[in-house]
Amino acid sequence: MEAIIAIAVSVLSIALVILAKPGWGGTLTKNWIAAYMLVLVPVRAVVLLTSQEPLDIYRISSPGSTLEHDVAIAAYQTTAGMLCFLLGYRLVHRRLGRGPKADRDSLGLPAALLILVVSLALMPFQLQNFNNTQGDPTVGGDFTLALAGYAAAGAGSVAAFLFWRDWRRAALPLALAVTTAYLRIALFGAKETALALLAGLLIGFFANSQGGVSLGRALRLAFVVGVAGVAALYVFAGPLLLNPANSAVAESPTDRLALGVQVAGSRSYGADALIAVNRYLDDGHELLLGASLAEITYSWVPRQLWPDKPFSFTQRLGASVFAYSSQAGHVFFAPTLAGEWLLNFGTPGLLVGFVLFGFVSALVDSRTQGALRVLWLISLTHAVEGGLVAQFWLALPFILGGVATIRAAPTTQPHVVESHRLRFTSQAREER
C-alpha cells in the first residue's frame, strides 16, 4: 500500500505539471519532459511491482529494505522534483510569456545533405573502432567519432519536423536520416536518432495543423507514424537477435516486435536507477559533491590520444552498483537527472537541480519556436535520463547540426519600412 500511495502522488504531481496553464502549445517542452517522467518513474514502478522479472540488477543491497519501500521513496523523490521543476518553470515563464508564435522557417537543403553524408562517411571508422573495443564504447571507444552521428540526428529531426510543410524539399534529407538511424541501430544498437525522427514527425504534424486536424490529415499521421514506429521496433530487436537466447524466443514477426518493445523500454528504467542511487548512498558512500559534473573538463579528449583517460562516471558506478538488463547493456548506468543530483548533493541538490531545470525549460518555451524548439525539446527530454556530462556532449552536436539546417525566413522590420515611407512623403511635399 505504501508504494501504491507514493506512485499515485507522483502521478498527480506530474499531471499538475502538464495541466498548468497556459496550455499545451505554449508549454510544449514542459509537457514533454513531464510525460517522459511519467514513463520513467511511476509507470516503471508499476512494472517493477507487478512483473516477475528477477531484481538482481542491483549489485548492492540495503539490509531490511523491501522493493515496496524502495519504490515509494523513488516516487516521493520524483514528486518533490516535479513540484520544484514546476516552480522554476513558472517563475521564468510568467515573466517572459509564451514566446514567438510565427514560424516560417524552411529546410536548408545543402547543409542538411552535407551533415548527413559526412555522418554516413564516418560510420565505417566508427564501426572499426567499435569492433576494436569488443562492442563496448564506454570502455575504450572514441566518443568523438560519434559526434557526427549526433549532428546528423539533429539535421534529421529538423527534416522530419518540416516534412509536413514541404515534403518535396525534406524527402531526400529525411531518407538519408532514416538510413543513418537504421545503420546506427543495426551496427551500434543506438536508438537516439530513430526516436528523434519520430518526435520530429509527430510535433511537426501538429505544428503545421494550426487550423485544425482534419480526418484525412489524422489518418496520414497515423499511417506515417505507425509505419515508422513498427519499423523502428522491428529494427530495435535486430542487434539482440545475434544472441542465440533471444533468437530462440523471437521466431515470428510478432515476437520480434515484442522484443523491440522491450528494447525501447530499456530507456525507461528511471525507478530502477533511483532505487540503485538510494541504496548506494544508504550503503555509506559519500556524496560526489560535483565530481560527476567535473568530467566535462576532460571527457571530450579522444581515448586514442589519452589511453589512460578515466572511465566515465556512468561506467564506474554501473560496474559497481547497477546494471541494465541484458537487453540494454551490461555496465552503462543512466542515473536519471534526479539520481545524479542526489548522488552529488543529496536531497537539497535534487530540489535545486529541478528548479534550475525548470528555468531552462521555460526559457526554451518562451524564446524559441518551430524547429529550433524541437531541437531543444528533444535534448532536454533526453537529459532527464542523466548523466549530465554525457547528455551535454550528445545535445551540443545535436542542436548545432539541427540549427545549421534551419533556413530562417526573412523578417520584416517595421521601423525600416516606416522610415522609407516618411522619406517618400517628405520628398513629395518638397516637390509640390
Q: Has residue 242 been placed in a domain?
A: yes
- Rounded distance between C-alpha atoms, residue 136 and residue 6, angstroms: 37
107-161 pLDDT per residue, tens = 888 999 999 999 999 888 777 776 665 545 444 345 666 788 889 999 999 999 9
Q: Has residue 404 been placed in a domain?
A: yes
Q: How far lies 115's CA from each of 107, 151, 193, 396, 400, in Å?
A: 13, 7, 14, 14, 11
pLDDT above 80 (res 98): no
Q: Provide the pLDDT for residue 100.
A: 59
Name residue 407's beta-bridge partners. Answer: 106
What are the cell numbers at 120? 554516413
Q: How confident is the model at residue 244 (pLDDT cuts 50, 70, 90)?
A: low
Cβ atoms within 10 Å of 230's Cβ, excluding its own: 13
Q: Has residue 157 been placed in a domain?
A: yes
Q: How confident is the model at residue 312 (pLDDT cuts 50, 70, 90)?
A: confident
Segments in 24-101 forming alpha helices (H): 28-38, 44-50, 67-96
Segments in 189-311 forming alpha helices (H): 192-207, 215-236, 244-248, 253-265, 270-282
Provide the Cα torsion 211, 216, 220, 221; round to 10°.
40
* Domains: count for the chain: 1
Q: Has residue 28 been placed in a domain?
A: yes
**Contact in structure between 198 and 228 (CB atoms under 8 Å):** yes
Among residues 182, 150, 110, the alpha carbon closest in space to that of 407 is found at: 110
Rounded average pLDDT over 379-392: 85
14-28, 304-318, 320-334, range with the lowest pLDDT? 320-334
Q: Provide the pLDDT for residue 400.
A: 93
Q: Has residue 431 been placed in a domain?
A: no
Residues in the chain: 432
Q: Has residue 344 been placed in a domain?
A: yes
**Contact in structure between 44 and 269 (CB atoms under 8 Å):** yes
189-203, 225-239, 313-327, range with the lowest pLDDT? 313-327
Q: Has residue 160 been placed in a domain?
A: yes
Name the pTM for this structure. Answer: 0.81
Q: Has residue 430 been placed in a domain?
A: no
Q: Cell numbers 505504501 correspond to what residue?
A: 2
Residue 209: φ, ψ to 5°: -125, 45
Which amino acid belongs to residue 412?
T
Q: Provide the pLDDT for residue 137.
A: 43
Q: Which runs of E-coded beta strand occur in 355-416?
A: 406-407
Which residues span the domain enclosing 208? 2-423
- Rounded distance between C-alpha atoms, residue 227 and residue 49, angstroms: 32
Higher pLDDT, residue 115 or 423: 115
